[in-house]
Amino acid sequence: MKKKTRISLSTTQVIMLSFLLVILAGGLLLSLPVSTQSGEAVSFTDALFTATTATCVTGLVTLPTVSTWSIFGQAVILLLIQIGGLGLITVISGFMISMHKRFGISGKMLVQDSFNLNTLSGLSDFVRRAIKGTLIVECVGALAYMTVFVPEFGARGIWISVFNSVSAFCNAGIDIIAEDSLCGYVTNPVINLVTCLLIILGGLGYVVWWDVIRVSSAVKKKGIKALRELTLHSKIALSFTALLIGAGAVGIFIFEYSNPLTVKDCSIYEKIQFAFFQSVTTRTAGFATVPQENLTNASAVLSLLLMFIGGSPVGTAGGVKTVTVAVLIAAAASAIKGREQVNIFSRSINPASVRKAMGVTAMSFAILFASTVLLSAVTPDAHFADVIYETVSATATVGLTRGFTSSLDLWGKLIIIVTMYLGRVGPISLALAFRFRKINRNAVKNPTEEISVG
């Protein structure tokens, strides 16, 4: 008898395939007539686009979420956002834990790689805490939203609050309030603050959560000195996040201060509130309190940079990640100063981490470049600013648009669908490829030769 050929998939391939299967299943559900308010099925392309943007927690939409999808359709979208934010592997692992099923080595490796962790120990506890922490934060966020949405929308405000909380925490940027996102709440402090906090918490990452909680208990005993006990990862993520949000807010405040299309007629407090929100939402969240096409060119360019960087690793945000960029900046500084080691916070960075950061950034740039060229080719009459804003938003899974998404034709939609998918799994897959690369210690090293650089 012939032996059956067994197809063995790597953990990287399983993760990529899981995202693809969720997207296809979501697309099929959203293409059903029951998913729309009109009772008429939308095109499969639009259904697939919506499933992709939800699963990849992006936020770009070709059809208005609030007026197109029924409660069933919105529930499907919300489920896709939650799965996309946590990851299908995490959701399945959480279900297994609740059923008291034990992890095998392959299951542990899947969880490890889905979160890009460096250890196999304590994974069950990590998954349990990540899911529990996510649900707690989302519930608190929903309750805070209800103070505004229930008085305004009545009982429907409860559903809006839950949807918005999950979407904000998962950095998805999809809402069911209005067709212009949160533009009607540009001066509402509750909506602005709650949304920003949810975005930041989701973008910081679970590893930083647990580290901050651990150190916080030590602060009571040791005082402020206990902050030194934060891991290097947490120090980089927290400091770089604060730097980007602060610098971004200051820049946007200055650039938009006298812009009649945005906040020229607002008070100083309202301008600060808008600038802070815009700086935070570009960190791959995708909510908008002003139309992005109304921003000045300087604000648009700054937003592009913030979108591309994104949030921090092991969280719900996209982009190349704060830690990645911090490592690259430190590596560049070391090269300029002629140092062999790359140092951050008086700690040396592993050369493998530097190479991984370079690889992730290079792949993201490649995805961005290819999608920009292709989208420009199929939309020759479009303004380049609209195109690049769209492709950066899709690559970094942000969701902000200059009103261009709804005008995409079939080819444009397909390009953005692929870009969102690659933006969500591409950099992760490249990082994992570096990790699983085996080193042949017996391999002969090639001779070294000097070249001119720069």
- pTM for the whole structure: 0.88
User: DSSP of 207-225, one letter per residue?
Assistant: HHHHHHHHHHHHHHHHGGG
Q: Where are the alpha helices (DSSP H) in 282-350?
A: 297-309, 322-337
Q: Mark residue 122 as left, alpha or beta (left: phi above 0; alpha: psi -120 to 50; beta: remaining).
A: left
pLDDT of residue 93: 63
Q: Work out whether strand 343-344 and strand 347-348 pair parallel, antiparallel, or are unpaired.
A: antiparallel
Sign of CA dihedral 186, 189, 191, 193: positive
Q: What is the pLDDT of residue 100?
A: 56
pLDDT at 165 over 90: yes
> Across residues 136-148, what is the average pLDDT?
96
Query: What is the distance, to the nearest Å, from the Cα of residue 307 to the centroid of all Cα atoms in its chain?
Result: 9
Identify the band that residue 436 occupies on the pLDDT scale cut at 50, 70 and 90: very low
Cβ neighbours of residue 412 closer than 8 Å, sequence gap 6 or more = 375, 378, 379
Q: Are 164 and 287 in contact (CB under 8 A)?
A: no
Split at pLDDT 50, 70, 90, the class of 366 is very high
Residues 6+ apart with CB under 8 A from 41: 31, 32, 33, 35, 47
Per-residue pLDDT tens for 328-348?
A: 999 999 999 888 899 998 889
DSSP state of 36: B
Distance CA 176, CA 145 (A): 13
* Higher per-residue pLDDT: 442 or 199: 199
- pLDDT of 176: 93
Mean pLDDT check: name the lowest of 48-57, 100-109, 180-189, 417-426: 100-109
pLDDT at 4 over 60: no
Q: How confident is the model at residue 290 (pLDDT cuts 50, 70, 90)?
A: very high
What's the confidence (pLDDT) of residue 95?
A: 58
Query: CB neighbours of 15 closer than 8 A, spacing ≥ 6?
Result: 87, 89, 110, 113, 114, 425, 428, 429, 432
* Mean pLDDT of the 134-153 span: 95
Q: Name the residue with tokens 């009649």.
A: 260
Helix or strand (DSSP H, E) at 318: none
Which of the four pLDDT bands, split at 50, 70 and 90, describes residue 1? very low
Tokens 């936020």 identify what position?
59
Determine the average pLDDT of the residues in 149-172: 95
- Tokens 């409660």 locate to 71
Q: Which residue has the higher pLDDT, 89 or 192?
A: 192
Per-residue confidence band for 437, with pLDDT thresholds at 50, 70 and 90: very low
pLDDT averaged over every residue in the chain: 86
Q: Which two tokens stand for residue 38?
A: 């009109």
Structure tokens at 108: 């542990």
Residues 194-219 pLDDT 10s: 999 999 999 888 888 888 888 887 77
Is the pLDDT reported for residue 7 higher than 80? no
Mean pLDDT of 260-284: 93
Q: In 3D, which of 287, 362, 369 has the Cα closest to residue 320?
A: 362
Alpha-carbon distance 423 to 396, whole Å? 6
Contact between 358 and 373 (Cβ < 8 Å): no
Among 79, 75, 87, CA closest to 130? 87
For position 18, what pLDDT does the model report?
82
Structure tokens at 392: 């950066």
